[in-house]
Structure 1
Amino acid sequence: MRTRMPSPPPSSSRTARRCRAVLGAGASLLCCGLLLGGPAVTGAVAAPARTGHEEGARGELVSAEKLYTLASAQAVAAELGRAGFDGAVARHGVAGYRLVYWTVDPHGRPTLASGLLVLPLDGERRLRTVSFAHGTGVHRNDSPSMSGPGTFLSAPVVAHAAAGAATVAPDYLGMGTGPGPHPWMDVPSETTASLDLLRAARAFVPRTGHALERTVQVTGFSQGASAALGLGRALQAGEDHWFRLGALAPVSGAYDFGGTELPALLAGRLDPKSGVVYAAYTLVAFNRLQPVYDRPGEVFRAPYDQSVEALFDGAHTGEQLMRGTPDTLGELLTAHGRELLAHPAGPLAAALRATDAVCRDWAPHAPTRLYMATGDEQAVTDNTAGCRKALRASGVDVPVVDLGPVDHHGSRHLGSNVAATTRIVRWFAGLRER
């Protein structure tokens, strides 16, 4: 299970220079909503549960690999600070593991996936259980189990564990060590990958002398905010016989992706480069699951029709994606491509309806808060307002926590993850918020 991915190549573009300026050695960073992957984290195989390649049941543990140990709360605080997060939440040292497990792909076929599990070193025997779903990435390394503890991707997971919780974070399908392309914004497969990681963690944790509580506190950022709502809904519906929903705290999600986020993108309300990347990712990713277009040239202008699909193959870095895409939607999209995003029809419309259903027709019974940042340049805040309205229509009035104009390396979107993590860790742990 030792997988090494290429480090991002140098770039002369202004966007890439801005992103590189805040990268630490071996770090990853969300920039324009996409991660610039660093080197993979590897360790010794700790507990293989199955040999060979026969298919296993959903959630069956295949292997567990110890990635790192931070022996004290002080060591954890230093790593969190390195990633720009508040180290004051740390109460324990932690150990991180990569779990590989069986799950299902978007068509219900068995497949493998990986994810991160971080445990407090000196916590109680029975541990609180937290699930964190990460934001958008394009390279396989842009996932929690492939990132060190002092990175933007893994810091929320480490923070929750250092506060005393067994914390899992799915890499998602096609990310980490999992096969195939990543089905971006496919909430059903994000949900199954998240639920099955919890099952794999429950099988592994007793080997460390711990056990998991039944209730799961669920959170996630950006793309992961929708994934968190999908998991919360599945837990409440009893899709697992053991785990139950304990709390729900999504952060800065594009919950109404087709009805709110895409119109904002086309209207120029997002960061321009983010809008280009999200438009391309939407068409490419959804076309892999549904017949959105027959040829790239139908939706992408030359020369990008020859290269854009390959940029989302899991082997290209965020920097390569930034360099390989234009700066404006007009340079990227044909008239037909823009029309598809403006007025989705057919299979694309059907897929977006499933993605956009995360807040509709259900009411969380567990304590729930929606977190957002004023002036978010990537996930427009109308998404959060719409989610609250939909949940209210189902009978629950969920509070919205406005974090204000928070900033992380020039991005309020990224800043919301940093600021919300501290608040959510304390809320989940029952500590008083600042």
Structure 2
Amino acid sequence: MRTLRRIIATALLTATAAAAIGTPALAGTPTVTRGSLVTEKPIVTYGSGAEVGDLLTAGGFSNPMATYGVSLHQLVYRTIDERGKPTVASGLLVLPLTTARHLRTVSFAHGTSVYRGDAPSVADDTFLTGPAISFASAGFAAVAPDYPGLGVGTGPHPWMDVPSETSASLDLLRAARIYTARQGITLDREVYASGFSQGASAALGLSRALQDGADPWFRIAAVAPVSGGYALRRVEIPAVFTPEVQPRLGAAYMAYLLTAYDRLHDIYRDPRDVFQPDYVGIGDLLDASHPGQEVLAGVPASVDELLTDRGRELLTRPDARFAAALREADSVCEWAPRVPVRLYYSPGDEQAVNGNTTACRASFAAHGVRVPTVNVGVDTSYSGMVHEGSELLSVSEIARWFGSL
């Protein structure tokens, strides 16, 4: 049901849609603004809700909420990288084929990708595009950031770096507002944020920034993260040394974490200090230029085969520099949302273990906010993994919940 606040916000935007949309200037380039649109490229159109429903069902999405046809667009826009330097990034915009000229917006952040071609605006994979398509077919404008270093981005991707995920997500919203205004469509003020796995942290980072007033127009309306790694130091890292995490994937995640954080935070002197001799060059595989199957084939069968004693010690007893970086990542639930939040999960997740969701709920409670968790059940049809299945099971439920607010 549309609230009076949303109706007033829509009226204000309608009155100013033709005006320039101001966004913060990029550091060192005062004439260029973050979120400014560089290019737009149409990708594909699905002409009816029935066509969308068939696509989502074939992609494994449970009980899809497919009402409208949708059009997919790649947006390339200006933002900042993990070091605060000007860069460009790409993302997916999906619009419903409807006569409505005022749309609420959903931002959905995708899960871990090691290859820049596995990002929503460049991949032909319904697992990556399906969430944004689902929300658009339910009547929302939907955006899905590729993140820095992925999609059209260059250089390694700064995995699990919440500040750059937040910047990319926020600036994509700004670029989408510019593009839709040119099409005679206005985006409502309120943003509904969701995301899966890595994207669960990104969604929470965006939500916290919007609540804190990071943008003069957009405001957070509700948050629905799915199967996130919200507590790397307290929960996820200890779990990779147990059977709770699938062993090879645990090795891949820890290799990604160590190499990405070393690039950004300089957490070890030499790869030989932390990686076994056969895997000293594993960082070369994790530069975003190698497809996921190639990367997975290049990691050992377990984290114990990956690490030296020093590497294991760095993960289990991080020094001050690494601990500070992990603390930043683990802060995504350390705030007090003033909007509805639900944490979605599947029991027995073999990648982002369920203790992450429990820890996140406890962190919110410590800040005075009771956040419900939603058990969506188990689906292993996508890859034989519970983790991926949690996205397939939750997206339609989240679309219905957002639509009811």
Counterpart residue number, 2:24: none
User: Which residue does the alignment assign to 1:342?
Assistant: 316
* Pairing 1:283–2:255 present: no
Q: How big is the shift at 1:416?
A: 0.7
Task: Give 2:3's aligned residue.
Answer: none
Q: 2:193 aligns with which of 218, 221, 231?
A: 218
Which residue of 1 is the match for residue 273 of structure 2?
A: 298
CA distance in 2, matches of 1:88, 1:236: 30
Residue 311 (structure 1) aligned to one of 285, 307, 318: 285
Pair 1:369-2:342 in alignment: yes
Amino acid at match of 1:200: A
- Answering whether residue 240 of structure 2 is matched by residue 242 of structure 1, we say no
Q: Is the 8 A contact 1:76 1:87 kept in 2?
A: no
Kindly indicate whether the alpha-carbon contact (under 8 Å) linking 2:57 and 2:64 is maintained by their aligned counterparts in 1.
no
Residues 54, 67 of structure 1: CA spacing in aligned structure 2 closer, same or farther, 3 A cutoff? farther
Q: What is the aligned partner in structure 1 of residue 80 from structure 2?
A: 104
Q: What code does the residue aligned with 1:357 have?
A: S
Contact 1:266/1:342 (<8 A) preserved: no
Q: 2:106 is paired with a residue of what secondary structure?
A: strand
What does residue 133 of structure 2 align with? 158
Task: Give the SS at the match of 2:312.
Answer: helix
Residue 208 of structure 2 corresponds to which residue in structure 1? 233
Of 44, 47, 60, which residue of structure 1 is paired with 2:36?
60
TM-score (norm 1): 0.84
Give the corresponding residue for 2:100. Answer: 124
Whole-angstrom CA distance in 1 between matches of 2:52 and 2:31: 37
Q: CA deviation at 1:75?
A: 1.2
Amino acid at match of 1:135: G
State yes or no: 1:196 paired with 2:171.
Answer: yes
SS in 2 for 1:357: helix
Distance 1:268 1:185 in 2: 23
Question: Is 205-214 or 333-342 further displaced after alignment?
Answer: 205-214
Tell me, yes or no, if structure 1 residue 265 matches structure 2 residue 232: no
Give the Cα–Cα distance (whole angstroms) in 1 for the partners of residues 333 and 341 of structure 2: 12
Structure 1 position 171 matched with structure 2 position 154 = no
Deviation by residue 1:30-64 (Cα, 9 ceiling, x = unmatched) = xxxxxxxxxxxxxxxxxxxxxxx998211111111
Q: Contact 2:94–2:142 (CA<8 Å) still a contact in 1?
A: yes
Identity across matched positions, percent: 51
Whether the 8 Å contact between 1:374 and 1:406 is mirrored in structure 2 is: no
Q: CA deviation at 1:273?
A: 1.0
**Consecutive aligned runs of 4 or more in structure 1 exceeding 4 Å deviation:** none
Distance of 1:294 and 1:157 partners within structure 2: 41
Q: C-alpha distance in 2, partners of 1:88/1:60?
A: 33
Instruction: Give 1:222 shift.
Output: 0.3
For 2:193 and 2:312, how far apart are their aligned partners in 1? 35
In the alignment, what sits opposite 1:253? 228
- Cα RMSD for the two superposed structures: 1.5
Equivalent residues of 2:117, 2:150 under 8 A apart: yes
Deviations 1:307-338 (A, max 9, x none): 30111111101110111111122221111011
Higher helix proportion: 2
How many angstroms does 1:87 deviate by?
5.8
Shift of 1:257: 1.1
> Residue 353 of structure 1 corresponds to which residue in structure 2?
327
**Equivalent residue for 2:297?**
323
Structure 1 residues 272-318: Cα deviation after superposition (integer angstroms, max 9, x where no partner): 1111101100110000101111221111111211x301111111011
In structure 2, what is the Cα distance between the partners aligned to 1:288 and 1:134?
A: 22
Residues 111-150 of structure 1 aligned to structure 2 (within 5 Å): 111-148=87-124
Answer yes or no: is the 8 Å Cα contact 1:261–1:379 preserved in 2.
Answer: yes
Residue aligning to 2:155: 180
Give the secondary structure class of the aligned counterpart of 2:350: coil
| Pairs aligned (count) | 376
User: How far apart, CA to CA, are the structure 1 residues paired with 2:378 and 2:110?
Assistant: 21
Q: Partners of 2:339 and 2:395 in 1: how far apart?
A: 19
Comparing 120-129 with 93-102, greater Cα deviation is found at: 120-129
- SS for the counterpart of 1:102 is strand
Contact 2:110 2:199 in 1 (8 A): yes
